[in-house]
Structure 1
Amino acid sequence: MTTANVSASDRRAAADSELVAEVKTLLASGKQVAAGERFAELIDRHQRRAARIAYYYLRDPAEVDEAVQDAFVKAFTHLPSFRERLFFELWFTRILMNGCYDRLKARSRRLRWMVPVDESEADQQDWIARQPATGLSPEAELLEAERRTELLAAVDRLPERQRAVVVLSQFEGHATRDVAEMLNLSEATVRVHLFRAIRTLRRHLAGATWLAQPPTRSAGEAKV
């Protein structure tokens, strides 16, 4: 990660911290409406990234929207107990991922008693249409979609912790120390999960030459 990127990340975290402190002050003063209006700015900043993370797990556009909304509601409700030792983005991501895990467990229980119904193509297209444009040609977009589908199918087969590490570090670009904070793991454990996940993905995706090489960076560096 470049110095410019580190500075931008630090500025975003600092801006979040200032806004969180303001919202907490408003809540402590009993100004719920004003606090909600200010918290909406945090939602605007993190909603797109939250939807991406939730979609990696849930793959159902309607459920993704519900999971993200629930996570923001929980974050707002528990904000008075939030301690700034952990950046808001990391704390919120932990809430979001725990919610996704709960939904997957509930889905698994439901599917024991019913025949699963595939997500409709219309729902998929609706979610995709709300994502930012890639700027790629139609042919390149098709190839990228095929690669993404193949990779996500392989990631789905990983154990829960390995999948979380891959999503946060390789898809979302978080540094090892941040992934460790979000998952409540040591940095060494995160690195072990990532190593095993990459090894497994290589086995599942044998012949897929586009799969990135395992990272060789130090623990504190994010993906280049």
Structure 2
Amino acid sequence: MAGQPNVDLAAQAPRPADGGHPSPASVLAAEIKALVAEGDRDAARDRFGALVALLQRRALRIAFQYLRDAADADEAVQDAFVKVFLHIEQYRSDLPFDVWFTRILVNAALDRLKARARQQRWISHSTDEDNGRPVEQVPGHEASHERRLLAKERWDQVTRAVATLPDRQRLVFTLCHLDERTPAEISAATGMSQATVRVHLFRALRKLRGVLGGHV
């Protein structure tokens, strides 16, 4: 753009601490950050579209594991992508973008879960006051509805317990059990040693079992 300093995108490419090759998402994020710094937001938005296309399927899978609702998962993913674009200048190009994005995504999913819990408490309170029955509880379907409700409540307990984990334990747990990555893959993505990854995973599972009575 005229009047704007030229930014060398190659110079902005992330350089992993372990000397390995940066992920495609990290390369794209570094390019977007450079374009934003240059003031070329139109080009940054174009590249961001490519980043969304690259990560959206994985992001939806992780968000759905937390929320167990496709619409809520989609909203959480959209929230996460908006936050990424608005705060892309805070991304450290020497670190894996996938890890930074996963943290933002998990926080967006947990925020959505908290909002849903508040809404459910309000609905429950309103129903109790009216001495009524929720519309969807048709007598012939009460048993199956109750089973689904119990399963959902159980998963909500797990998700709330995950939210109490320290940041690194929550990240490792998410990457391992929700994103289905191996300790070696998590090590490569985060820069932690495999031994450290296993320690964080062990501590996360131990804490979750303590909170949930051993049912993890």
TM-score (ref. length: structure 2): 0.60
Structure 2 unmatched ranges of 5 or more: 1-19, 128-133, 137-149
5+ residue gaps, structure 1, are: 1-9, 120-149, 206-224
Distance 1:65 1:77, change over 3 A: same
State the Cα distance separating 1:75 from its structure 2 match. Answer: 0.3
Q: Is the 8 A contact 2:173 2:201 kept in 1?
A: no
Partner residue, 2:180: 173
**Structure 2 equivalent of residue 191 of structure 1:** 202
- For 1:2-151, what aligned pairs fall within 5 Å after superposition? 13-115=22-124
Q: CA deviation at 1:30?
A: 1.4
2:78 and 2:135 map into 1 onto residues whose CA distance is 23
The Cα offsets for residues 84-140 of structure 1, whole Å up to 9 and x where unpaired, read as: 232111101100111111111122222221139799xxxxxxxxxxxxxxxxxxxxx
RMSD over aligned CA atoms reads 3.7
Shift of 1:46: 0.6
- Name the residue aligned to 1:125: none
- Go from structure 1 to structure 2 and tell me whether the alpha carbon gap of 1:83 and 1:14 turns closer, same or farther (over 3 Å shift): same
Following the alignment from structure 1 to structure 2, what is the Cα–Cα distance between the partners of residues 202 and 86? 36
Report how many aligned residue pairs link the two structures: 162
Alignment partners' CA distance in 2, 1:84 and 1:173: 25
Q: Quick one: which amino acid aligns to residue 61 of structure 1? A: A
Whether the aligned pair in 2 keeps the contact of 1:71 and 1:96 (CA below 8 Å) is: yes
Mapped partners of 2:214, 2:189: distance in 1: 24
TM-score (norm 1): 0.58
Percent identity over paired residues = 39
